[in-house]
Amino acid sequence: MSKLYWEDFTPGMVAIYGPRLVTREAIVAFAAEFDPQPMHLDETAARATLLGGLAASGWHSCCILMRMIADGFVNQTTSMGAPGVEEVRWLKPLRPGTQVRVRTTVLETRPSNSRPEAGFVRWLAEMIDEHDDVITSFTTPLMLRRRGAGARP
Amino acid sequence: MSKLYWEDFTPGMVAIYGPRLVTREAIVAFAAEFDPQPMHLDETAARATLLGGLAASGWHSCCILMRMIADGFVNQTTSMGAPGVEEVRWLKPLRPGTQVRVRTTVLETRPSNSRPEAGFVRWLAEMIDEHDDVITSFTTPLMLRRRGAGARP
């Protein structure tokens, strides 16, 4: 399969991936390993918190989102990785039983200053629920290989 | 045990948590579940990437960091959660066998405008290795309960 290069992305491109079911078991298992706070582990304890009931760790939502974009497009590109994430927003609790989708929007593209064989594509990635409400979003610049000099198919 | 409130944190406070060993097994297991890109899954494939060898998903480093601060202090506070993360930086590859520590620095504190019973503490959280190099960092505002009116012990 031919890979997608930096040149294949242009600002304004939107794509949707999913759906994927987020189960209570997955929420609790993730929290037990990485974010053992009461609101992510136990329904009764969670009811007394701002979340008002059991909800996934915000980091869990980021990881699910990452998996969905890896399957959705990142692994079909010449991605060289990302230096980080600009902003992560946890906007709505991710409840057990939610069918999530991911919406990606290309915000901008620019050549790399230091690597002539590479360019950056800056994406907004949003996890949305059945009501199209945004649960979690982040913005990240992904480095992709450019066609031509230095490009490997 | 008495919990820590918003008032217990002041700008400039620094703390260190850990160490914790990051194993190859953990790196590959996380990547297989959440970030199945070649540089996080397979040594040979990873050698051909910018990382130059197997390294943890950046999201994995965030999750390990979260676990270390949950155990280190978050679960000893009146934390009400965080609305997100301002900036995540993946600065150095996290290699199998690394003993990581976490350094937290209180950047600022401010009362909540909308919730008189709460205030925000803005933290810089850094994962550091044996050479004190920063592997991953993020900045996040944590909402904590204030002492006095509305406070529950």
pLDDT of residue B149: 57
Position B105 pLDDT exceeds 60: yes
pLDDT of residue B141: 97
**Dihedral of the alpha carbons of A144, B28, A20, A106, in degrees to the nearest 10:** -10
Mutate to test the interface with A, among B75, B85, B143 (most CBs of A within 10 A): B85
Distance in angstroms (rounded) separating the CA atoms of residues A9 and B52: 26
pLDDT of residue A2: 79
Average pLDDT over residues B97-122: 97
| pLDDT profile of chain A (153 residues), mean per 10 | 91 98 98 97 94 97 98 96 97 98 98 95 98 98 86 47
Position B151 pLDDT exceeds 50: no
**Burial (0-12, 13-18, 19+ Cβ within 10 Å), B107:** middle
Phi and psi at residue B117, in whole multiples of 5°? Answer: -85, 0
Tokens of B41: 């899954």
Average pLDDT over residues B108-123: 96
CB-nearest to A84 from B67, B70, B87 is B87
pLDDT of residue A1: 63
B87 touches chain A (CB under 8 A): yes
Domain limits, chain B: 6-145
> Residues 6 or more apart from B122 whose CB is under 8 A from it?
B106, B107, B108, B109, B110, B139, B140, B141, B142
Tokens of B60: 């994995």
CB-nearest to A35 from B66, B85, B86 is B66
pLDDT of residue B138: 98
Instruction: Tell me how many residue pairs between chain A and chain B have CB atoms under 8 A apart.
Output: 93
Q: Write down the mean pLDDT value for chain B.
A: 95
A58 CA: distance to closest CA in chain B (Å):
8
Average pLDDT over residues B119-126: 98
A34 touches chain B (CB under 8 A): yes
The answer to whether A81 touches B50, Cβ cutoff 8 Å, is yes
Position B153 pLDDT exceeds 50: no
The pLDDT confidence band at residue B2, using thresholds 50, 70 and 90, is confident
Average pLDDT over residues B108-132: 97
pTM of the predicted structure, to 2 decimals: 0.95
> What proportion of chain B, given as a percentage, has pLDDT over 70?
96
The answer to whether B77 touches B3, Cβ cutoff 8 Å, is yes
Segment 91-130 of chain B within 8 Å of chain A by CB = none
Contact residues on chain A for B39, CB-CB shorter than 8 A? 81
Contact residues on chain B for A79, CB-CB shorter than 8 A? 37
pLDDT of residue B148: 80
- What are A108's strand-pairing partners? A122
Where do the H-state alpha helices sit in A35-89? 38-41, 43-47, 58-72
- What are A141's strand-pairing partners? A122
Topology (CATH) of A6-145: Thiol Ester Dehydrase; Chain A (3.10.129)
CA-nearest of B52, B1, B63, B51 to B26 is: B63
Within its chain, how far is the Cα of A125 from the centroid?
5
Distance in angstroms (rounded) separating the CA atoms of residues B23 and B27: 6
